[in-house]
Structure 1
Amino acid sequence: MGSSTDPYHLHYEREMSESLLETLTSPKPYETQQLNWKALGRMVIHLPAKVDRKMEKPKPVLLGETKEKYVIPGTLPILKAGIPLVDYGVKSQLCTNLDKRPLSDSSTQTAEELLSPLQHEIFSLANEYRDIYYPEMNHLNSDEIRTVYCLHSLNHVMKSRDKVLLHNAKLKKYKENGQSTDDVEFRDQGLVRPRVLIIAPLRNSAVKIVEKLASLLLPVKGQIINKDRFYKEFGEEKDEEDKKENKKSYKPEDYEAVFTGNTDDSFRIGISVAKRTLKLYAGFYKADILIASPLGARTLLADDFDFLCSIEVLVIDQTDILYMQNWDHVLHIFQHLHLQPREQHDTDLGRVRLWALNGYSAHYRQNLIFSSVALPEAAALFSRRGTNFAGKVRVENVVLPSATTVCRVLVQLPQAFHRFPTPTAAQSADDRFHFFTKKILPQYRDLLMSNTLIYIPSYYDYVRLRNHLHKEEYNFGQACEYTPDGKLAQVRNRFFLGKKRLLLYTERLHFYRRLTMKGIHHVVFYQLPTFPNFYPELCNLLQDAFQNPKYRGDGSQTCTVLYSTYDAQRLAAIVGSQRAAEMLTSDRPVHLFVSGGS
């Protein structure tokens, strides 16, 4: 592919016009349009607002061999069909390794033959350096998505490397021939070497990413440097293997997919890429790709943040798990991107791209955010922290009735959804608390309402409610992610026997442990769960099989849910988009669902 049409060349080897810069730094940099593709579905496309195109004459500065040109603001994406993957600007070595079939000619393989429909669509967008927010990842398609962003990251790093090596060779040749290099300017680098940052939650995710990078980059004879050390530090721990043998309880598939292997959440590793080698544990300023957990990056940021100043491709994988860990750490990384470096780190400033020296790197950075649930926090990060001139694509599909999780409630259970009024998102926590303590909680003083589990997604809400129940002298137990195992077993037993009438249960505890809580007669969702599948999981714990034999089958079980207009996404994922819209706009504040039963 000629450099004039290569997406890498078009995105990174041109300067930014003043009018485009003005647009991107304005309060409303983007205009939105919608588009539908077959695998991704409905996409909201953000493109830079129309730039005033008074023909700005490009200055005819010699930049290597090309005349300097300005970057072109993003336009509506078009899905190409029937074109070899090589012609997308993908290195032939990567195409060959992507094609696992023996004896096939990868130079003519079309993108559709080498990639699944979902991969083809995501790759087409990523390859044009657009930002992507895809909130429909799951344990079945996560490997496909990982393949795409690893392919894109390696392709990016290899093109950058080739450009630097080519220019090095030219400079060397000039010197050997005694030519002056004063007039020659090769601007092909950032302020520091790391170009790709992949943020992932757990060490087991890092193993999958490194294995994917290796399978795409290395032919059979290729080599991974420091491989043994990597598996020793990132592979399964010995007690993990013992755990497998002693495993009694059943856990859902999605839980197993996340928590199998090394689940340590503090790590960082630098990787340098050469043609036939992948060097793990490269020093951060000698690495091309950095893989880190938010905690692993944050502990380093206290002393040094220069390694984040030239990130060109930023991937956030399994964003929903990062949200469960500590979202602050993720925001902290974003606040430290593209800051003025404190040291030079052996950089030849004569070869740093002008847009990087001018401090425009944020407009060139691509953000790829993948999540299994639509999180308002991730959407805010995507819209506020990205000003990529190539535009942004947010996948936003409606939840059809067939995909709702409320359908998976198997027990016969009346579910009352209570809408409470609140004027702003900031005010909603207070309004929820007052509504709950005044309207809902007093009903649970009644003797008939024993064995009530109150599910609370936010830890702050949990603390506030716990303090209130103490003050009002309720008979209640508490189970959160910080409760020691012994205490947890004790409170579960007391709740099961009816000695504790109420049990406060946090979402994080459920996320990390997926406990089968027994003896629940009534469940209250103080707020809807972040993960829609938790809703039926908890409702189905009201089955007879999980009850104390003494209390079986009086049929008076209930489920109560609190929601407001600011829970729209969570509500849609559980009851479906159309029904959620009706429940949010209807005059009636209470909606009743009855599930199960013959």
Structure 2
Amino acid sequence: MWRACPTFLWLSPSYQAGTLNIFQFFCTEKLLLSQYWQAWPLVEEVAASEAVVAEAAEAAEVEAEAEEPMDSARTESLIQRELKTSMACLETLCRPSTFLTLHLRQETSEDSEGSGTGDDESLNDVTSDEEGDDDGQNASARPYMALLQSFKDTEAPVAKRRKLEHQSPQRSEEAAEPQEDEDEGDEASDVDHVDEPEETGLDLEEAPEEDEEDSEDEQDFTDPFDVHFAHPDETLVATRISSAKKGEWATKREMMQSWRAALTYPGSNPNEELLHSGTKLDGLKLKQKLREPASKKLGSFSSVQKALGPLVFNYRDVFHCDRSVQNAGQIRELVCLHALNHVFKTRDRVIKNNHKLAKDGQDTELELRDQGFTRPKVLFLLPTRNSCLKIVDIIRDLCNPEQQENRKRFDESFTDKDQKFGADRPADFQDLFEGNDDDMFRLGIKFTRKSVKYFAQFYNSDILFASPLGLRMALGSEAEKTKPDYDFLSSIEMVIVDQADALLMQNWEHVEQIFEHLNLQPKDAHGCDFSRVRNWYLEDWAKYFRQTIVLSAFNTPELSELQRLHCHNWAGKARLQPEYPGVLQKLGVKTKQTFSRFQSHQVDKDPDARFDYFTSAIVPSLVKRPADATGTLIFIPSYLDFVRVRNYFATSSAVNSVSFGAISEYADVPEASRARSHFLNGRHRVLLYTERAHHFRRYVLKGVRRVIFYGLPDNPIFYKEIAGGYLSKSEQDLEIEPGRGSVRVLFSKYDVIKLERIVGSQRVGKMIQERGDTFDFV
């Protein structure tokens, strides 16, 4: 250590022996507390000439002081002065780029920051204290700096500096310029690119608003925020987390108004009561600044808000499977209020604790753990920019900021007033694809006391908004030759997935990958003040505290698996779904509907069993009388099954007499138009059609006489539109006689979730369990 750090040379020879133990203890304590032993090899040795100069200066001081008699008190005073001066010289002479020097400077400053991310707010009284401390340090180092400066231009030989790091040769500036230009071009093409540095300084927050209640952010065991995040019961939490790790969950089922609720808790006791009803706005523990705007925006709770309120505001994981166009706005308002309340409570508590620490000074014994590793606390996963616009509009109305930074850029990037389709499209289609339907975006929003900033750098943001594709691109990957960066997800405490059924129609793997990167330990510190980090973050328990809210029009195996693998909330989780009446009687046309169940013994063998049943039981009826096959639409939910069936029709000799066309989500407009035209005029007797193609296009196909569902759609609306809408259109166009159309459906026991939405909750059990495998409905 002494070889790497020549600070000990600066002590005068007469005091080296006497102060060796004290100085060694001082340095050792400093290094152990900072935990940066590995940084010492990076400190370069002081040049020989500088060491000689420093030693000569010390010798001169010693000679002058030796003329005066010294008692023990004076000796102790000199030792303290030497130690203080030595540390100041160590900080001054070490290169400022070394990690050790930066850390020593941070150790001596009195300011403290929330989660390692800075704010544009500051405390004036604390700033003045810091300036005074800096002046004291500079005064200690000034004599040495002045002396060294006087020898700066001498011709004394300079000692060789030891090469501590071996790096590859740097490219010349001329060679690097084209790459920089290329990178700038890529950034310019990204409309969501943020040219803002990460705030890693220790800027202090502004003092809390004077009109805020002093006791509002104090410990309150009736406030779910305190019970779940700020001051949880350590014994209860440890027990619950232990049960969650073992996979021990207890479930109880009950009715919540018109929804069937499955409440699951880690452990063996599912009978836990919520802290408060949450069925009224007045009963919520809201920040004072949110109460009046929330009262104007939400008013009295609707039925869906009363059902979700107790679960959402008590930080349970919520999986709501009955989101619709009618209740979408009410649910958005509820979750936005909850997210904003959580962010404001977190930030205001950090600000008040900063103020307390600033008042008490550097020697305070207060231990205030109020934050995570990084600043972002809430993540919204949304399908389109227009969906993001709706959420941000609600948040803006609730917080009512005095200033909005980058508002014009936000409006230009997320607003599209052009009408891209007619008013005859279904309501759910209009709700999803109206406005700007771009599914590649990401946005960070930062809140200060009186303003909101759009397009904030992710590490400086409080709330993140992104589509799965947009956030997946931001994460990067080694395969794409981009440095992975997902530390900004390390302290996410709330994830809200809105319109999850629409995300299923995109690439669901992006959603899974995002959840896999949530609440991981960060690779870099990002200016984090670890003395302020909550203990359960340090214990790597963040995923057990995170609240996940998934809003979908219906349940699917993918969503259930997401909840099982990535929702470990120690407070429990709940799934709400309605009783389904079915849509068999809502087609708008009289037609025979035949449901055929095939045997499938394993879920991974289900695609093979389905294909075998299709080729052995369905295809022969098409080949036997080719004329009757005209106008047959085969609906295929999975693209993989679509490719398999398409290849079968293209290559199998068994169906040589049956001409066919195909429309998938990857077909361009001319190709789809050509297939539709050939199907209408009879040139193609069979048309293969995928679920994603219908989701994104909502074609009104003409000439349909017979519908075969290779598999049931996830969305029951699609069944009505295809089985009822297409056959009704053919009857209106006199393509078929009324009642002559037919529907054939293939299903197995693994399709029970889809089947329930089509035939109804009361029929599905019999259709799965009865011995018969054919069920007819008229």
TM bracket (short chain): 0.7 to 0.9
* Matching of residues 444-483 of structure 1 within 5 Å: 444-445=622-623, 446=625, 447-472=627-652, 473=656, 474-483=658-667
Report the Cα distance in structure 1 between the residues aligned to 2:279 and 2:663, rounded to whole angstroms: 56
Q: 582, 600, 610: which is aligned to 1:432? A: 610
Report the Cα distance in structure 2 between the residues aligned to 1:286 and 1:78, rounded to whole angstroms: 33
SS in 2 for 1:285: helix
More contact order relative to length (CA 8 Å, sep ≥ 6): 1
Q: 222, 239, 256: which is aligned to 1:19? A: 239
**82 and 525 in structure 1: CA distance in 2 versus 1, 3 angstrom threshold:** closer
The structural deviation recorded for 1:449 is: 2.1
Report the Cα distance in structure 1 between the residues aligned to 2:304 and 2:728, rounded to whole angstroms: 42
Report the Cα distance in structure 1 between the residues aligned to 2:320 and 2:725, rounded to whole angstroms: 31
Q: Is the 8 A contact 1:507 1:529 kept in 2?
A: yes
Higher relative strand content: 1
Q: Is the 8 A contact 1:525 1:562 kept in 2?
A: yes
Spell out, residue by residue over 1:531-552, the C-alpha distance to the aligned partner (whole angstroms, 9 max, x if none): 0011111122444643696844
Report the Cα distance in structure 1 between the residues aligned to 2:368 and 2:392, rounded to whole angstroms: 32
Give the aligned residue type for 2:553: S
Give the structure-2-normalised TM-score. 0.68
SS in 2 for 1:533: helix
SS in 2 for 1:379: helix
Q: Is the 8 A contact 2:379 2:492 kept in 1?
A: yes
Give the aligned residue type for 1:23: S
Spell out, residue by residue over 1:307-344, the C-alpha distance to the aligned partner (whole angstroms, 9 max, x if none): 11111011110000000111111001011111221111
Spell out, residue by residue over 1:213-251, the C-alpha distance to the aligned partner (whole angstroms, 9 max, x if none): 0011116xx3322111001001006xx34x46xx4x721
Q: 427, 432, 449: which is aligned to 1:258? A: 432
Aligned residue in 1 for 2:540: 359
Q: Does 1:572 align with 2:756?
A: yes
- Bigger Rg, structure 1 or 2: 2
Q: Is the 8 A contact 1:364 1:389 kept in 2?
A: yes
Q: Bigger CA drift: 425-434 or 10-19?
A: 10-19
**554 and 284 in structure 1: CA distance in 2 versus 1, 3 angstrom threshold:** closer
Q: 414, 421, 436: which is aligned to 2:592? A: 414
SS in 1 for 2:424: coil
Give the structure-1-normalised TM-score. 0.87
**97 and 450 in structure 1: CA distance in 2 versus 1, 3 angstrom threshold:** same
The structural deviation recorded for 1:92 is: 2.3
Q: Is the 8 A contact 1:518 1:546 kept in 2?
A: yes
**11 and 251 in structure 1: CA distance in 2 versus 1, 3 angstrom threshold:** same
Spell out, residue by residue over 1:394-440, the C-alpha distance to the aligned partner (whole angstroms, 9 max, x if none): 1133213xxx2222112221111000110122111111111111111
The structural deviation recorded for 1:47 is: 1.3
Report the Cα distance in structure 2 between the residues aligned to 1:82 and 1:134, rounded to whole angstroms: 17
Q: 18, 23, 34: which is aligned to 2:253? A: 34
SS in 2 for 1:99: helix
Spell out, residue by residue over 1:30-52, the C-alpha distance to the aligned partner (whole angstroms, 9 max, x if none): 1001232225x22111012148x
Spell out, residue by residue over 1:29-81, the C-alpha distance to the aligned partner (whole angstroms, 9 max, x if none): x1001232225x22111012148xxxxxxxxxxxxxxxxxxxxx992337638
Q: Does 1:7 align with 2:187?
A: no
Spell out, residue by residue over 1:356-381, the C-alpha distance to the aligned partner (whole angstroms, 9 max, x if none): 01101011000101001111211221
Aligned residue in 2 for 1:163: 349
Aligned residue in 2 for 1:223: 403
Q: Is the 8 A contact 2:281 2:301 kept in 1?
A: no
Report the Cα distance in structure 2 between the residues aligned to 1:538 and 1:587, rounded to whole angstroms: 29
Aligned residue in 2 for 1:66: none
Report the Cα distance in structure 1 between the residues aligned to 2:711 and 2:702, rounded to whole angstroms: 21
Q: Is the 8 A contact 1:123 1:152 kept in 2?
A: no
Q: Is the 8 A contact 2:280 2:306 kept in 1?
A: no
Report the Cα distance in structure 1 between the residues aligned to 2:738 and 2:434, rounded to whole angstroms: 40
**333 and 83 in structure 1: CA distance in 2 versus 1, 3 angstrom threshold:** closer
Aligned residue in 2 for 1:90: 286
**82 and 273 in structure 1: CA distance in 2 versus 1, 3 angstrom threshold:** same
Across the aligned residues of Structure 1 and Structure 2, the Cα RMSD in angstroms comes to 2.1
Give the aligned residue type for 2:267: A
Give the aligned residue type for 1:304: D
The structural deviation recorded for 1:593 is: 0.8
* Matching of residues 304-453 of structure 1 within 5 Å: 304-400=485-581, 404-445=582-623, 446=625, 447-453=627-633
Aligned residue in 2 for 1:279: 453
**82 and 344 in structure 1: CA distance in 2 versus 1, 3 angstrom threshold:** closer
Give the aligned residue type for 1:211: D
Aligned residue in 1 for 2:265: 47
SS in 2 for 1:34: strand
Aligned residue in 2 for 1:184: 366
Q: Is the 8 A contact 2:712 2:755 kept in 1?
A: yes
Report the Cα distance in structure 2 between the residues aligned to 1:282 and 1:553, rounded to whole angstroms: 61
Aligned residue in 1 for 2:199: none
Give the aligned residue type for 1:257: D
**82 and 261 in structure 1: CA distance in 2 versus 1, 3 angstrom threshold:** closer
The structural deviation recorded for 1:557 is: 2.4
**229 and 185 in structure 1: CA distance in 2 versus 1, 3 angstrom threshold:** same
Report the Cα distance in structure 2 between the residues aligned to 1:160 and 1:78, rounded to whole angstroms: 20
**315 and 559 in structure 1: CA distance in 2 versus 1, 3 angstrom threshold:** same
Aligned residue in 1 for 2:48: none
Higher relative helix content: 2
Aligned residue in 1 for 2:338: 152
Report the Cα distance in structure 2 between the residues aligned to 1:456 and 1:82, rounded to whole angstroms: 43
Q: 537, 540, 546: which is aligned to 2:724? A: 540
Gaps of 5+ in 1: 52-72, 102-110
Aligned residue in 1 for 2:470: 296
Q: 196, 200, 222: which is aligned to 2:382? A: 200
Give the aligned residue type for 1:517: L
Report the Cα distance in structure 1 between the residues aligned to 2:247 and 2:544, rounded to whole angstroms: 14
Q: Is the 8 A contact 1:456 1:506 kept in 2?
A: yes
Give the aligned residue type for 1:32: T
Q: Number of residues paired by the alignment?
A: 545
Q: Does 1:75 align with 2:272?
A: yes
Aligned residue in 2 for 1:60: none
**491 and 311 in structure 1: CA distance in 2 versus 1, 3 angstrom threshold:** same
Q: Is the 8 A contact 1:520 1:547 kept in 2?
A: no
Report the Cα distance in structure 2 between the residues aligned to 1:3 and 1:331, rounded to whole angstroms: 36
Give the aligned residue type for 2:622: Y
Aligned residue in 1 for 2:27: none
